[in-house]
Amino acid sequence: MGIRNLCKILRFFSTPHPCTTFLFAHFFSNATPPSTTLFHSPTSCFHIDDGHSCLKLGLQFLTRRYFSSYPCSSFKGRPYASAKQVSEIVALIREGVNDLEFSLNRVNVSLSMALIVEIFHILASERVSALQFFHWLKGSHPELCCDPQIGGLVVNNCGLLGNYEAMVPILNEFNHRRVHLGRNAFGFLLVLNLDKASTVECVRKIMDVLNEVGGLCQSSGIRLLIEMFTFTGSFDIVEYVIGKDRRKVNHYNVLMRAVCKKGDYERAGFLVKEMKRSGFDPDMTTYNLLVSCLCKNGKFAEACQVLETVEKDHGLPKEFNYNILISLLCKHGQFDLARKFLDKITLKGIEPCILTHAAVIKSYFELGKYEEAHEYVVGSASKQSYSSNANYSLLATLHLKKGNMLLAQKILYEMMDKGLKPNFSVFNKVRKCLEKKNEIGLSLELSRRYLSLIEK
């Protein structure tokens, strides 16, 4: 093993410490790298056998202290805090010292995102207010204060301490900066392990805050509440949240998406009925989610009934995602139904996407209908489909996998005669197969046609 390869391997040795990373000293130099502070530890020896000779090297650990490079920070160029300094910062916040900002500035270090998150977690676990620390961060590390994760952590800290009033100015500032709430914002509702009545009361206070501040924080905050309580199965609280938000359709859809992700098609169907009962018309997003959930659970008859209702009430809307439906039907062996919907959207002038074409072509092959697959590809090309190149290339690939090398070559000839360029990887595979079968003349002719096409 050469010295160069050894150096590359040794780079991967590090300790999982948030503040420092251990590096190995350069083999032939004792020079200290720029902008580093070194702490020496006892020499460690590594025995390396390269197959020809043994090399025993004494390597010395170095600890590198990285420096802040935030462009707008007043702490730019200062080293990141060590573990001891992080503990000192937490102690200052915990003790609630007078003029905390002055005391933190005296520590004279910068904080990385990981260190800030660590400090917030410590303060949360000890139920210590992080508000003063956050206000100091706004001046010392303004870039990081625009991060949704930090926003979520400070809101979560306020919630743990029951300080809902303090959330309002913070969220107003986030709205001004167009910062949405991070996923950890309302985790305190689960950490506090409240009974149902207390949880509802906390949610009411949160909703009052969100409705007061409005904007991006309101929409992202309500979405987070819906997703969190749907995940825990607290659907009555989810209904309460949606009700307090005047039951907006898009928030019903957030709930619908979470329910469908869990595969609960029965509850998804109930939600559609509940929306109608509450005076809200489900939109195409709602129906897309419901039909997809039904198909993924093998409920194809029910999915078709939903589609018949949609078609009756709204015609054949382009907003409905027929591509997902057709692909799911093909995947689950419901090819006749897939063709039925494919014919419908074709008559309406709706162009299937590349993945839908691929699902149909593959289904023909799985059924052994190779001629029909060819006719389908030719038909899409005659309509000047944007996916014609991909369809022909896929057809050639499928024939090649079946061992039909000459038929795959014929497909490539056919598409190139129409001015369609094959996918290079497909062309190359067919060419190499021809060479392996000693069809050198055919391989050269295929290459000649391909080159003449790409040179035009």
Instruction: Establish if 261 belongs to a structural domain.
Output: no
Q: Over the stretch 321-370, which tens digit does the pLDDT of each residue have?
A: 788 888 888 988 889 989 988 888 888 778 888 999 999 999 999 999 99
Between 142 and 221, name the one with better pLDDT: 221
* The one-letter amino acid at 425: S
Q: How confident is the model at residue 181 (pLDDT cuts 50, 70, 90)?
A: confident
Instruction: Establish if 35 belongs to a structural domain.
Output: yes
* The one-letter amino acid at 392: Y
Lowest mean pLDDT among 309-318, 395-404, 419-428: 309-318
Instruction: Establish if 278 belongs to a structural domain.
Output: no
The DSSP H or E segment spanning 22 is strand 20-24
Q: Over the stretch 14-33, which tens digit does the pLDDT of each residue have?
A: 333 333 333 223 322 333 33
| 239 pLDDT more than 90 | no
Instruction: Compute the average pLDDT of residues 100-115.
Output: 79
Q: What local confidence, expressed as pLDDT, does residue 78 receive?
A: 58
Half-sphere exposure of residue 364, counting CA atoms within 13 Å on the CB side? 20
Instruction: Establish if 17 belongs to a structural domain.
Output: yes
- Domain ranges, residue 56: 3-65
Q: What's the Cα-to-Cα distance from 296 to each of 292, 316, 324, rounded to whole Å?
A: 6, 22, 11
Pairwise CA distance, residues 185 & 182, whole Å: 6
Q: What local confidence, expressed as pLDDT, does residue 26 receive?
A: 32
For the stretch 220-227, contacts whose Cβ atoms lie closer than 8 Å and that sit 24 or more positions apart, written own/partner, are: 220/180, 220/181, 221/171, 221/181, 221/185, 221/186, 222/251, 222/254, 223/251, 223/254, 224/181, 224/183, 224/185, 224/186, 225/186, 226/251, 226/254, 226/255, 226/258, 227/254, 227/258
Instruction: Establish if 90 belongs to a structural domain.
Output: no
Between 67 and 442, name the one with better pLDDT: 442
Q: Tokens at residue 326, please?
A: 């057709």
| 201 pLDDT more than 50 | yes
Instruction: Establish if 30 belongs to a structural domain.
Output: yes
Alpha helices in 47-99 (DSSP H): 83-95
Instruction: Establish if 34 belongs to a structural domain.
Output: yes
Instruction: Establish if 95 belongs to a structural domain.
Output: no
Mean of all residue pLDDT scores within the chain: 78
| Helix pair angle (354-366, 388-401), 10° resolution | 30
Instruction: Compute the average pLDDT of residues 110-115.
Output: 83
Q: Over the stretch 61-85, which tens digit does the pLDDT of each residue have?
A: 333 344 444 444 444 445 677 788 8
Lowest mean pLDDT among 48-52, 248-252, 306-310, 390-394: 48-52
Q: Over the stretch 263-301, which tens digit does the pLDDT of each residue have?
A: 889 999 998 988 888 888 888 889 889 998 998 898 988
Pairwise CA distance, residues 100 & 123, whole Å: 15
Q: 185: exposed, middle or buried (C-beta count within 10 Å: 0-12, 13-18, 19+)?
A: buried
| 115 pLDDT more than 80 | yes
Q: What local confidence, expressed as pLDDT, does residue 383 receive?
A: 75
**The model's pTM:** 0.61
Domain count, the chain: 1
Q: What local confidence, expressed as pLDDT, does residue 363 receive?
A: 94
Q: What local confidence, expressed as pLDDT, does residue 247 receive?
A: 61
Q: Tokens at residue 439, please?
A: 């069809």
